[in-house]
Structure 1
Amino acid sequence: MSLTNQLILITGAGGGLGSTAALALAEQGAQLILLDKSIPKLEKIYDAIVQSGGPVPVMYPFDLAGANEMQYQEMADAIEQRYGSLQGLLHSAVEFSAYTPLAIHKTQDWGHTLNVNLNAAFILTRVLLPLMQKSQQASIVFTSDSNARQAQAYNGAYGVSKIALEGFAKILAEELEAGQKIRVNTLVPGPIDSPLRKKAYPAEDKTQLPAMSSLAPIYRYLFDSASLGMTGQIIDANTFTL
């Protein structure tokens, strides 16, 4: 139980990768704050963690795109009042509608995608940094996409958000490196049998893809003390070895 007494917040905790990470981290004893706008999805992963014998998590229904800065700060204040500090932050929430040519990309879809995938990650990270600074060591993990980051045609706002997110993570890692407390890395899951993959490639034979559970060891590593000193890295799940 190497993550015992570690408090980790997961966005998109009800999604495919978010719930996979939540189960993996809870099995190692982590205390989790599960963030998602869907209460039924939160309840599902909550029940799964409890049934697995992990520490009882906290459900925090929250709309990343719809919340204002005050609501983000209220969340951070509530965490501080209850726990005092935070040891981990996993950005797993994602917005993807469809592959769209930029020439016909709707402004509303563009703004919503950037709000969830990029702006929310910035605001949430900023308001939680003081709590992570109170920890002896802490880990921030962003989630990117191997296809979107290549700036291929039709990736639209989703692709732009992932490219920008990787840049944001790199800048943040360099700014925090001198403090030697908070490490910042980006996970690229690669092609995997996830709900997002099904939505993006509905005709693909998913039986040929790795299961989401194959990412569990990487999630555990990134939040475990074994990854201390590793920061500013892009972790490709297809090539990374523990």
Structure 2
Amino acid sequence: MATNDACFHGDIPAAYDRYMVPMLFDPYAADLAQRVASIDPHRVLEVAAGSGALTRAMSSALPHAEIIATDLNQAMLDVAALRHSGGHVVWQQADASSLPFPAQTFDAIASQFGVMFFPDRGRAYREILRVLKPKGTFFFNTWDSVENNAFAKAVKASTDTLFRDDPLSFFQRTPHSYVDAEAILLELEQAGFQSATFARVEKTARAPSARDAATGFCKGSPLRTEIDARQSKVDVVARVADTLEQVFGMGPIEGGMSAFVFTAEAPRQT
């Protein structure tokens, strides 16, 4: 993984929150928040919280729980804090591979589309297990393949054509790279978790326009870093928007998306 894949800086966080969150992340945030709420936790840690899509959903689903939302990028947390000022949510910069909390602190830990960014997932999983209470639960999701996510598939096809001699690799390198669910279960077991399960969950991605969707992908994700590095004179957002219009039509657009949702428990004594 390129080291800057986990670095959301400059105006990327604001574009991510404006375009990507309602398009892709809010539907899965609602799903994951309800799964966390089903165990009625009192203390919840969120890792890789980003701009707070899952945080806001959990805050609504768990109004009496203490929620600590962490992310590696302070810029993302700054955007998140502007969107949500609930008194039972604390925002804190933290690295999932070295969490600044005592052992056995949390009833539940959640992460929305963050684990694929961890440079050492085994270490991060062991660290998450360390701060979970005995029988506490870890909830997280990961994207399915690019081919099973319609917007991403179309954006990738468009940029592959634009940069034929030097294609962008972000999609398959990071967000859609962690798709072997059985292998992920094995990694969780090796880290010390038990009763790990997964479900494939399909949702619908929606955007007000192809232009909005293209702007989100090209300006609100690390894909932007790859685009900028190529110093292209082409208006990449406009070209991607044209492709999305050809595939999904004019006006508001929608397409299928797919992800895996995992749950895993800490042993009775960790």
TM-score (norm 2): 0.47
Which residue pairs with 2:101 in the alignment? 79
Q: How far did residue 39 of structure 1 move?
A: 3.1
> Which residue among 160, 165, 171 is the counterpart of 2:178?
165
Which residue pairs with 2:164 in the alignment? none
Aligned residue-pair number: 178
Q: Distance in 1 between matches of 2:189 and 2:214?
A: 30
Which residue pairs with 1:207 in the alignment? 252
Which residue pairs with 1:23 in the alignment? 56
2:70 counterpart letter in structure 1: L
Which residue pairs with 2:68 in the alignment? 33
CA, structure 1 residues 169+86, in 2 after alignment: closer, same or farther (shift >3 Å)? Answer: farther
Alignment map for 1:148-163 (pairs within 5 Å): 154=167, 156-162=169-175
Q: How far did residue 5 of structure 1 move?
A: 0.6
Q: How far did residue 175 of structure 1 move?
A: 4.8
Q: Distance in 2 between matches of 1:172 and 1:121?
A: 8
1:7 counterpart letter in structure 2: V
CA, structure 1 residues 140+197, in 2 after alignment: closer, same or farther (shift >3 Å)? Answer: farther
Q: Distance in 2 between matches of 1:179 and 1:86?
A: 15
Q: How far did residue 158 of structure 1 move?
A: 3.3
Which residue pairs with 1:110 in the alignment? none
Alignment map for 1:1-242 (pairs within 5 Å): 3-14=40-51, 19-29=52-62, 30-50=65-85, 54-62=86-94, 72-73=97-98, 75=99, 78-80=100-102, 84-93=105-114, 117-132=117-132, 134-147=133-146, 154=167, 156-162=169-175, 164-167=177-180, 168-173=183-188, 175=190, 179-180=194-195, 183=197, 191-193=205-207, 198-200=216-218, 202-203=240-241, 204=244, 207-209=252-254
Q: Distance in 1 between matches of 2:199 and 2:191?
A: 12
CA, structure 1 residues 125+89, in 2 after alignment: closer, same or farther (shift >3 Å)? Answer: farther
Q: Is the 8 A contact 1:149 1:163 kept in 2?
A: no
Larger Rg, first or second structure (1 or 2) = 2
Structure 2 unaligned segments of length 5 or more: list them.
1-36, 161-166, 219-236, 246-250, 266-270
Q: Distance in 1 between matches of 2:82 and 2:57?
A: 14
Q: Alignment identity in percent? A: 11
Which residue pairs with 2:9 in the alignment? none
Q: Is the 8 A contact 2:204 2:254 kept in 1?
A: no
| Greater strand fraction, Structure 1 or Structure 2 | 2
Which residue pairs with 2:21 in the alignment? none
